[in-house]
Structure 1
Amino acid sequence: MLNLDEIKKPIAAELDTFEGKFKASMQSSVPLLDRITHYIVKRKGKQIRPMFVFFSASLCGGITEATHRGAALVELLHTATLVHDDVVDNSYERRGFFSINALWKNKIAVLVGDFLLSKGLLLSINNNDFELLKIVSEAVKQMSEGELLQIEKARRLDIDEEIYYEVIRQKTASLIASCCACGAASAGADAETVEKMRLFGEKVGIAFQIKDDLFDFGTDAIGKPLGIDIKEKKITLPLIYALNKSSRSERRRIINLVKNHNEEADKVSEIIDFVRQSGGMDYATKQMESYQDQAFNILKDLPAQSSRDALEQLVRFTTERKK
């Protein structure tokens, strides 16, 4: 498996500098807010989103101060949406840590999300980074629309492949697309190149989400229990394919299991077995690989250099990861 630390080596110094700037971008005169934002920074993830921003900038002209602000903007707005999501989902854990709402309750969590959103907006406006702000704001809009579309469709569990792809394009892929577009724009790339990088990120984001779907059914997952999406009544690509290949009566039976499993382990296991035996995982894996290949084909139109190779490795990491 690819090692993320090895992949990020060419931009390790930039990422270290970014961490300090990102922390500074959240500073407040309110001690409670400072405690909470310190907690957020302390439990940061793998830095995959900033890596997409920096490698995209490096490929399209070079990393600038605007690149650092673009990466911070993405992280601020994304973190704001995660804090709000945990309130909406009544979730008390994120990446193995307590969520903000678990520690400080919903009212404070919502206000912290609003604060992070405003800090992102001000960071861009104060530096005249209007193109970056437009790119990331469009992504946040799409993420909200995708979430609402999923909620609307999940009530009746009538999600087909076309709707599924629209949901994940908006919910997941739009954010990675904005990272790549921000990186390109921050390096002074022309509109055509920025759009190419946005489309590249979108393809990567779709592949990333399909990989996440596969974890639910037991493909190399480390740390993620099986059946989480099923328990939350989410219709994912392996399940959609399996349902489409089944008879009408079998389809009705499985949908009823999804709707009424009440988190009973035997019923969840029955759904997982049904998907595995119906070829749902093989189909989803092929679709994931197809979107990865589409992303690579977009990169081929750009000059061959170490940053392009690093982006390809980062894409492979997202589809070969274990969690």
Structure 2
Amino acid sequence: MDASTIAKPHDRLAADLADDLEGVNALIRDRMASEHAPRIPEVTRHLVEAGGKRLRPMLTLASARLCGYDGPYHVHLAATVEFIHTATLLHDDVVDESAQRRGRPTANLLWDNKSSVLVGDYLFARSFQLMTETGNMSVLRILSDAAATIAEGEVLQMTAAQDLATDEAIYLQVVRGKTAALFSAAMEVGGVIAGKDAAATQALFDYGDALGIAFQIVDDLLDYQGQSAATGKNVGDDFRERKLTLPVIKAVAKAGAEERAFWSRTIEKGRQEDGDLDHALSLLHKHGALEATKQDAIAWAHKAKASLGTLPGHDLRDMLIDLADYVVERIN
């Protein structure tokens, strides 16, 4: 199928990278096998084949192709990125006690927490095996740094998410850890494996960083104004799980004593009652928090697009620029 006739940019990317993606999928199927523990492919298959967009591995493939790479190892790196992502999802669902992921029951619900944690550990180990097969120390450093940053971001979120003292700077630090670190690493390693110079790999990193931040801000916004069928989540899940995300941080910053007491009761202390979500939504609207959050997401998408301006013209570059626009179009 001609990629130019497909409407959504991530679908155009998938069509343009179809052969590479098939190689990634074959490698994932091969490496998630386990001779001694059949539970591993069972759990992994449930998540890997759940209809995810493969966005992160596509960033690696697109970045490498954009930079003129014609070797085999971009497929290894893309599979590495997907394994790291899948491992973090398995762990996140246990930490968050989630029951739904991409509109389906989570692995921890279908099996148990122990299986999710241990299979996640297995996928992390597999990701490091894949990294080393490239023989490139730079990509090993970038992806292992990203794995450490992701874990650090998750731990920071655990302490910051229910503390009204959490401000936008701390939120950004959490988002850079839990989401943007893998986006930026996925882009950067594509340039590194292609042998590009520091300026080009920095531009790729900057695109991934800004795209990842925009992506997470949009996700946090959709939790308060999205449709469950489209997001695979229930509206207000973050509120019920007492997560202090950007819309609430903005509302808390403008809250008077009475409103602050409401946020303290519902988020910090977790004493939620019927009608609290509706009241929370009314406060978000009152202080323009949802619109301000939307504008932040748009600004980060603009940063992502601008970072690619230094790279040579290429169909894949244009698709990545369109992808940044599409990420924020989800909130219109």
Same fold (TM over 0.5): yes
2:34 is matched with 28
Alignment of 1:216 with 2:223, yes or no, is: yes
Is the 1:61–1:189 contact (alpha carbons within 8 Å) kept by the matching residues of 2? no
1:237 is matched with 246
- 1:184-239 per-residue CA deviation (whole Å, 9 max, x = no partner) reads 12222223322221121011111111101111221566343221111111111122
Q: Where does the alignment leave 5 or more consecutive residues of structure 2 unmatched?
A: 1-6
- 1:164-194 per-residue CA deviation (whole Å, 9 max, x = no partner) reads 1111111111111111112212222223322
2-side partners of 1:135 and 1:33: how far apart? 27
Q: Where does the alignment leave 5 or more consecutive residues of structure 1 unmatched?
A: none
2:4 is matched with none
Is the 1:213–1:238 contact (alpha carbons within 8 Å) kept by the matching residues of 2? yes
- 1:91-115 per-residue CA deviation (whole Å, 9 max, x = no partner) reads 3332222322223322232221121
Q: 1:155 to 1:282 in 2, by over 3 A?
A: closer
Find the residue that maps to 2:225 and give its secondary structure. coil
Give the TM-score normalised by the residue count of structure 1: 0.92
Structure-to-structure mapping, 1:1-323, within 5 angstroms: 2=8, 4-30=10-36, 31-219=38-226, 222-223=230-231, 224-259=233-268, 262-321=271-330
- 1:126-147 per-residue CA deviation (whole Å, 9 max, x = no partner) reads 3413322221111111111111
1-side partners of 2:320 and 2:34: how far apart? 35
2-side partners of 1:138 and 1:166: how far apart? 15
2:3 is matched with none
2-side partners of 1:82 and 1:96: how far apart? 14
Is the 1:61–1:188 contact (alpha carbons within 8 Å) kept by the matching residues of 2? no
2-side partners of 1:290 and 1:95: how far apart? 27
Is the 2:302–2:324 contact (alpha carbons within 8 Å) kept by the matching residues of 1? no
Q: How far off its partner does 1:262 sit?
A: 4.5
- 1:52-86 per-residue CA deviation (whole Å, 9 max, x = no partner) reads 11111122223531110110111112212221222
Give the TM-score normalised by the residue count of structure 2: 0.89
Paired residue total: 323
2-side partners of 1:16 and 1:198: how far apart? 25
2-side partners of 1:24 and 1:113: how far apart? 16
Q: Percent identity?
A: 34
1-side partners of 2:263 and 2:117: how far apart? 37
2-side partners of 1:11 and 1:156: how far apart? 43
Q: 113-122 vs 23-32, which deviates more?
A: 23-32
Query: What is the letter of the counterpart of residue 194 of structure 1?
Result: T
